[in-house]
A and B are shown apart, each in its own frame.
Chain A
Amino acid sequence: NAGVTQTPKFQVLKTGQSMTLQCAQDMNHEYMSWYRQDPGMGLRLIHYSVGAGITDQGEVPNGYNVSRSTTEDFPLRLLSAAPSQTSVYFCASSPYESSYNEQFFGPGTRLTVL
């Protein structure tokens, strides 16, 4: 199993550009989520999904869209990038119900918005 994969690893955008961060998992996990990591602030939940066709907002959803058309994929879209979205983005997945809900994280995408 490849686990959770994210592409690209690095990206530089100009203010106002749009892009999609890709996330895929091959563990048949129902639950997937996106976090952003900023220095000293830990990880903050952007959006999450409990299964194909179902998404919901997390703590910091503004400026981001998600969709979940398949169990495997959970892309994160930035419609009009802003410098405040410069961050490291992590995708994670877990079985929806398990004994202790371990979340499996991807390697991250480092995004810089100029």
Chain B
Amino acid sequence: GEDVEQSLFLSVREGDSSVINCTYTDSSSTYLYWYKQEPGAGLQLLTYIFSNMDMKQDQRLTVLLNKKDKHLSLRIADTQTGDSAIYFCAESTGAAGNKLTFGGGTRVLVKP
């Protein structure tokens, strides 16, 4: 079956690093994603990683993938107040990989 789990809440001080963790169960997922949802808005793709990669860096974002443990993490360096949002981990499923299974979301609160 497919199940994606995340912690519910993370509080961090402005300027510190944030690390959001996620575990997933479907080892056949081609891509894993991090989506960001700001209050009252839809989801926006933040970053993604192909399943044969261990790490991906994109400016302040670092994604780490441990396929053996089915563990995905997102590190945000120099966290800003604009990073306060809900972050969703998702894995791709389905024949063409378009179907997404989402985690419950981690609410990140950045304190000044």
Contacts and interface: CB of A to CB of B under 8 A. Distances in A.
Interface string B54-80: 000000000000000000000000000
B104 A48 contact: no
B82 to A, nearest CB: 19
Say whether chain B's binding surface is mostly helix, strand, loop, or mixed. strand
Nearest to B8: A40
A45 B100 contact: yes
Contact of B103 (A42, A48, A96, A106): A42
Interface residues of B, number: 23
Nearest to A4: B42
Contacts of A94: 98
Contacts of B43: 43, 90, 92, 103, 105
Nearest to B42: A105
B98 A42 contact: no
B45 interface: yes
A101 interface: yes
A4 B105 CA distance: 22
Interface residues of A, number: 26
Contacts of A102: 45, 48
Contacts of B109: none
Contacts of A107: 40-42
A42 B102 CA distance: 6
A41 B98 CA distance: 20
10 contacts: A31-B98, A40-B104, A41-B104, A42-B103, A45-B101, A90-B43, A100-B31, A103-B100, A105-B43, A108-B42
Interface of B: 4, 8, 31, 40-45, 48, 50, 88, 92, 96-105
Given A42-B102, A100-B50, A103-B100, 19 more contacts: A4-B42, A33-B99, A41-B104, A42-B4, A42-B88, A43-B102, A44-B102, A45-B100, A45-B101, A50-B98, A90-B42, A90-B43, A92-B43, A101-B31, A101-B92, A103-B45, A103-B98, A107-B42, A108-B41
